[in-house]
Amino acid sequence: MSVLRQALPQAGALAEVLRLEAAQLELTRGRDPYPHLAPVLSPRAPAALRRRAEELSLQAVATLPLPKAKAWRTRALPAPLKSHVRGLLAQRQHDVAGMLQLISEKPDDAVAGELAPALVDQNLSRVQQELMARALFQAGHWQEARKVLAKIPYQPSESFPLTFLRARTAYRLEAWEEAITWFAQAEQVTTNPEEKASCWLFAARAWEQLGREDCAEELYRQIVVLRPEAVEGWTGLLLLLARKDQGLPAVEALPQAPPRVRQELTPRLCAALVWHGKLASAQQLVAQSASSQPAFQLCRGVLALHLGKQEEAKKLLAQVLANPQAGRLRELVGLVIPWVAPGGSPPPTRNLEEVADLAVEGGVPTARRALLAALRQDPDSAPLFSGNLPPPALPPAVTGMLEAGFGQEVATLLPHLLPQNTPSELAWSVAFLAEAGNFREAARLSEKLRSQVGPIPAFLLPDELLVRMFPKAFTRLLPEAASPFSGLLLALARQESRFDHRALSPVGARGLWQLMPATLARLAPELAGSSGEEAHRLLALRHLQASAKRLGSDPLLLASAYNAGDAWVELWLGQDAAPHPLFALAVPYAETRSYLLAVTEGL
């Protein structure tokens, strides 16, 4: 310890690393490491170092003798860390009142979700049980929430939030009839139009799951009358009509919606009509709409393909590809244009419009060859394609650590010191971080490397660049026997957690693939309590395998099921079980639409 203290004044960029080392040493001796950690917990400290300091802080609170651990309660700590510290202390002391206090302060917080399962069997007051149920529901412990709610006697005069929570819990557990009953009860105890509409919306979706489309349609119509500005009601109604072979009534109903709703729903309804084969209805929608949105252009392009209008389709799809404002939507174009073998040598270009035209006219490989040739001609990018990358100039602190054999520590604690000014520097740093297992930072820098290529859709990037962005080391994240799901698993991890195995969402999802507690319990009760990375890998794979048995192997369908659930994807597919490029635009849930576009980008 005295050696570390003497080294600190001359440590420079490594000062925080030495403080963390000193803190770890103090912990092994049963001493309080806070004096060493305090400077590294500052918001000004680099993120990787601060994360490690927070881990050591929680380790101290969990392992120090209780009198020393309790001293952390009064220390200056970042707010989220302070909540975790209070929760740990309450658990160590079996302090039910303390845990309930934390839950009452922020029942929707991740800390509340961690504490609540331990209190399920406690003898609590009605108010405390309500808080417990809310925390359990928010954290994804739906069975436990249902158990607590069952202990609370129903009263016709009970508050809307409690009755609505009963309904949402049953809904999450796919107890559709029970959910419908509770939503009807909740709707009766509120006069708030937004709350009433929420009850009708969830009840309508539950009726759809029960095959009662007539009941669902009636509720959707009630929503659009009560709250015409609410997109969800119109979405449910129009997409239900499209599925029910009532495409023309859906098109005729759309002009009755407010302008903002029409703008959002026009491309989605068009996508649903094309997907379900209602081409005449889709043509009528195109004829009555002047929308210039990229999503609508994409739908028009796919419709033109279905109608055999090849030149019109090419023009529309090229416009979407060449429009950076279309964002991830452009990845869907890759599902409809040809992937033919390249013929000849296209002229080098990284101009977005030229690359888009090449992709639509000559196929994806042709566009990739042209882009690769242009990148090879760029002095900044050329080194990426010339074999092994030589190590760039490194800061003295990093060089010293590497020479001393501390490469793992550099990757974990000092990623901010790695070079990232040029494409070749970024590629070297990505490879170094991935090889050392810091996939979170490797992925962050790979996105930065991609941005230096320009606004090119991901599916048009050449393989020679993709292997620099996501080196082979990323496959270590996959469980054995992951094929044929390897690509999808990596795309899901990228979207779910940005490759952070420690990720914990506010709703209780954990790990690389953000698995919910209820999902863990359903897939593998024997592994549900495990926090090990290998267990989570196996569970993520098992999740996809279970969905594939019901839905087939199409990655878009599997990704949508991963986000929304198998039952919903089966409902949306209806009789049209075949996958379709416009499926991602036509699903009713906004969250799932965005999710699918992000996953498609990562495939």
Report d(CA 380, CA 403) in Å as an integer: 28
Report d(CA 131, CA 330) in Å as an integer: 44
Report d(CA 139, CA 112) in Å as an integer: 8
The conformation of residue 335, written as its DSSP 8-state character, comes to: G
**Predicted local distance difference test score (pLDDT) of residue 342:** 64
- Element (DSSP H or E) covering residue 109: none
- Given a cut of 50, the residues of the chain with pLDDT beneath it are 1-10
Continuous H helices in 189-246: 193-209, 213-226, 231-243
Nearest Cα to Cα of residue 131 among 151, 146, 116, 114: 116
Residue with structure tokens 């992000």? 598
pTM (predicted TM-score): 0.89
Nearest Cα to Cα of residue 7 among 20, 21, 18: 18
Report d(CA 538, CA 540) in Å as an integer: 6
Beta-carbon contacts of 155 under 8 Å, excluding residues fewer than 6 positions away, are: none
All domains of the chain, ordered by start, with CATH?
A: 472-603 (1.10.530.10)
Report d(CA 175, CA 453) in Å as an integer: 49
